[in-house]
Every structure is written in structure tokens, then in C-alpha cells.
Amino acid sequence: MLEGESQADESMLTGESRRVFKTSGDPVYAGTHNQGGRLIIRATATGQGTALADIVRLIQRAEGHRARIQRLVDQITAIFVPVVVFLAILTFVAWSWAPGKMLIFVRGLEPILWPPLLFESPLTAAMVHAVSVLMVACPCAMGLATPVAIMAGVRAAASRGILIQGGMALEKVGALDTVVFDKTGTLTQGKPQVMDQLTVSGKPSDTDNQRLRSVLHAMAVESRHPLSQALAAGMPYQETDATKLSYLKEIAGAGLEAARSPTPQATDVYRLGSLRWLETMSIEFSDAARAFMEHWECRGASLVGFSQGPELRLLIALQDALKPQALEVVQWLLSHGYQVELMSGDGERASHHVASELGLKPEQVKACLRPADKLHAIQALQAKGLSVAFVGDGMNDAPVLQQADLGISVSQASDLARAASDMTLVRADIASIPEAMQLSGATLRTIHQNLFWAFFYNAVAVPVAMMGFLHPLVCALAMGMSDLLVVGNALRLNARWRQSWASLKSHGSNL
């Protein structure tokens, strides 16, 4: 930056919810937002040299190193048909060349099973039993076991506001043991809110209080700064002619200065802004004010002061509040054996305060991280043998969503974050995460049930057909019923998934 002063929104790069003060000599980044003020900048990088291009390269690099899940079922299915053909040929050869020995073997099994099919001609018996083997063998059941369950699971998830990018995402959930959250916009609302306020000067009347808050609102509503907008939305006021401003000035990096008279006296000037700026204006802070400041600074809150003349009248604490049910979601994950961590581009105080509200320990928090730092942190967890899910929403989270074993983007995530994720939560809250975990687990169990049935059916039916105990018509009916059983079991997911978040908290999955 060559000239000017302003506040920059760099959340798309860093995830930091607070605006960064910029002045001459400071770097600014392509894609970030100037929140007010005239700036003259010199471009030091363009195209592939920008920070945004670095994020895209990180995504591509993470995509190239992504582990591929080996599909055991596909490998078995690929050799199943040749094996069945071989067994059918073996059956034909055995019944045509050694019918006597086959009859002796079959007669020994007859008391356990039922009377076999017998033919006068060995060649007829060989042909019928070989055809029975081909008809009863059911590669369809094995082939349908996984895709039908995945289709039903994805559809059930979509009805619950969970968009899943293919079946591989469902499979990954079963191996997860660690869930990492981004803070800003994921666990928190992503914008500051008024948390508390302190009336400093004496005990003003209700009328005086209303006038002060009305003046404060009239000043805040004119500014584009996020803290000012939060004050305008969160401070009660009553507009009157006595609170109309004739003079308002915004001082970049400091705050707002206003007066109700065109030629105000020193005692009639109102200031709303940072405490450091107010101190430079010779405004004193009482012991009660400093105790209030210390209390909220330890919690990572932003503090704003409002003064009239030389007196501090109000102190307001603003903070990015947790989303509803964020605590319940984190506690649910911990109670179900998941390791939970928090990664954020925000400062240490704000990150650790959010972690403490969620019941996380200090060692489970990593703060002041840029996108590359988050990526390296995820890779370090994976190097320990952990299977990691990352939940984020910002453009800066896209490389990490791509690198994680399972990437989950929340509602209103950037297009880049959604493209890099395996799951997208349509609803604004994160209560869908336990639902996604439960539904994915139910889908995996359904896949395992289908595969067990498919393998059990073929392991039993094919040898029985080889021994001549099954008629070809029975084989055809059994094969069709096997397919119907696999499909019907998968469709239970869509029919029975009617749980709400409250039932998940209290009872867990009943599938």
C-alpha cells in the first residue's frame, strides 16, 4: 500500500473474522475487501503469483496425494463370473465322466438335504446341473450390494439437508477417528454480536441512557465497519430529533466522531471506537471499566468505547458467538469416541475461549493458522495414522477440505470450498454432522449386510446346485429373490431414516 488508511476483510484468506487495519507500507491481497477509505496500491504479484493462486495450487497438490480406497468387492466381482463358469464346466465334466461317484456322494448328503434330481442319461444330468450352477450363481447381488445401498443412503441424506458427493464419502466415515473444525463461520456465526455493555459515568437517568444509545445508533448505522453494523443491529434505541447528527467523521483504524451541533463544544463531541484511540483523546478509564475490559479481553472479545466529551459513557463487548447446538455437536462427537480439534486463523485468545466453551482442552486448539499451516497440520495428523474429517466454510479452507480424508463444508460455504468437499450441509447449523455420521454408519452396515447375504447365498447355493439338489427353475427364482432381498434391504435406509437431531442426542441410531 502506497497511500491511504483502511480496514481490510481478509477472512477469505485467513479465516480471521476481525478486520485488519492497513496503512502505508502494509501488504494487501488480491480478493480481499477494502472496508472503507481511498487506497493507492502497487501490484507486486499478478495471476499465478497471488495468494489466491497459491490456495488453488495447494488444492491441486492435496488432490494429487489423496489416498484411494481399494474396492475389495469390485476385485472379487471381477473374478466371480470366470470362477462360476469354471465350476459349471467342472460340474458338467464330473456328472458326465464320473456319474457313479457323484451319485455315491449325493446319496450321502440326501439325509441332510432333500432328494436330488436324477436322470437316466449322465449327459442330461451333467447338462441340467451345469445350467443350474450358471442360473443360481448371482453376481448381481454382489454387484448391487454396494451401489444400491449408497444410492439409498445419499437420497436419505439429501432429504435431511446433507449433500454427499458420491459413495466414497459414505465409505470414508466408517474409518474416521478425528474431526477437525474451522472456527469462524463453522462453529461460530461468522459475524460479531453485542455480548455485554457497561454504563461507565455515574448513574444516568433512563432518559439519558436512551439518548446516548440513540446517538450511538445514529453514528454506527452510517459506518460499513462490521463492528459498527453489529452495534447498529444489537443496541436498542429510540430515534428522536434530539439525536440527529449534523456532523459525522469516520477515522480509519480508530472509530467515529460526531456532534449534534454544527459548531460543537468539546463536551458535545461523541466518539465511538477503539479503546486505544479513546485513550489518545485523553479519555480516562475507571477501575470498573478496566475490570470489564480485562474480563472480556480474556475471552477474545472486541471492545468498543463510547464517549461524550472527556467522559467515557459506555463500554460494549462484541464477539463472534457460537452457533446454536455447536456445543451439543462437539460433545456428541467426543462421547462417541471421536478426537475433536479446532483450527483457526483467529488469535490465541479468541480461539481458546471458543474451545473452552466447547469443552475442548488447550492442546486441542491451533490458532493463528494460514491455509498452508492448516494443510500441514492435517497432514501431520494423517502421518500419525489418523483418519481425519475437516469441517470448514471459507475459500481459505478449500485446500484443507481436499487434503482431509473427509471434507465437510457448511451452509453458505464458498464455491471453492464446496467443490473441494465430500459433503455439504445445506442447513445453517452444524447439527447435521451427527446425522451424517449416523446415516453413513447405517449405510455402511447395510452394505455389509448385503455383501454378507450375497456371499453367503452364493457360497451355499452354488455347491448345492453342483450336487444336483436344485432344479433350474428353483435356481432362477432363488437368483431373483436374492437380488430383491439386497435391494429391499438397501431401501430400508430411505424408509426408516426419520430421526431428528433430538433423537440422535438421546437415543443414537436405531438402524
**Share of residues in the chain with pLDDT > 90 (%):** 16
- Give yes or no for residue 469 having a pLDDT over 90: no
- Is 290 in contact with 200 (CB distance < 8 Å)? no
Mean pLDDT of the chain: 81
For 327-384, the pLDDT digits (tens) are 999 999 999 999 999 998 877 888 888 899 899 999 999 988 888 889 999 999 999 9
Give yes or no: 54 in active site: no
**CA nearest 160: which of 503, 507, 485?**
503
Given 9, 26, 182, 483, the catalytic residue: 182
For 231-251, the pLDDT digits (tens) are 888 877 666 665 678 888 888
**CA nearest 394: which of 372, 380, 377, 411?**
411
**CA nearest 272: which of 290, 252, 254?**
254
- The pLDDT of residue 509 is 44
**CA nearest 425: which of 439, 405, 441?**
439
Question: What is the rounded average pLDDT of the residues 198-216?
Answer: 75
Range from 267-271, 312-316, 377-381 carrying the lowest mean pLDDT:
267-271
Of residues 269 and 203, the one with the higher pLDDT is 269
- Give yes or no for residue 279 having a pLDDT over 70: yes
- Give yes or no for residue 72 having a pLDDT over 70: no
**CA nearest 20: which of 30, 31, 5?**
5
- Give yes or no for residue 38 having a pLDDT over 50: yes
- The pLDDT of residue 271 is 92
Q: Quick count: other Cβ atoms within 10 Å of Cβ 450?
A: 23
Domain extent listing, the chain: 6-44, 72-145+438-506, 189-321
d(CA 436, CA 409): 12
Of residues 215 and 417, the one with the higher pLDDT is 215
- Give yes or no for residue 62 having a pLDDT over 50: no
Is the domain spanning 189-321 CATH 3.90.79.10? The answer is: no
- The pLDDT of residue 302 is 86
Q: Is pTM beyond 0.75 here?
A: no
**Share of residues in the chain with pLDDT > 70 (%):** 84
Q: How far is CA 352 from CA 184, 341, 345, 385, 461, in A?
A: 13, 11, 12, 26, 60
For 120-144, the pLDDT digits (tens) are 888 888 999 899 998 888 777 777 7
